[in-house]
Amino acid sequence: MTTIDVAPTLIDAAGLQVPEVMTGKSIRPVIRDRRAQWRDDIFFQISKRKQAGHFELIGGSTA
């Protein structure tokens, strides 16, 4: 689950229709049945940028 899935999950939990324009997906099917199909793959980014003597998380690897 990523942050884009939070709003669709809450909307689904409230019994409302998740708008198709939303990028995320509700995780309720997986909560109900761990064998349920949800996503085949995920994408995430992590990269570091040195700024004023510290590193800041801004985005850069994929899986």
Residue 7 lies in a domain: yes
Domain that holds residue 53: 3-57
pLDDT of residue 41: 66
Residue 18 lies in a domain: yes
Q: Are 28 and 9 in contact (CB under 8 A)?
A: yes
Cα–Cα distances in angstroms (integers) from residue 49 to residues 5, 7, 43, 52, 63, in the given order: 27, 29, 20, 10, 20
Residue 63 lies in a domain: no
- Domain total for the chain? 1
Residue 62 lies in a domain: no
Chain mean pLDDT for the chain? 75
Which of the four pLDDT bands, split at 50, 70 and 90, describes residue 24? confident
Residue 28 lies in a domain: yes
Q: Which helix (H) or strand (E) holds 51?
A: strand 48-51
pLDDT greater at residue 34 or residue 28: 28
Q: Is the pLDDT of residue 61 over 90?
A: no
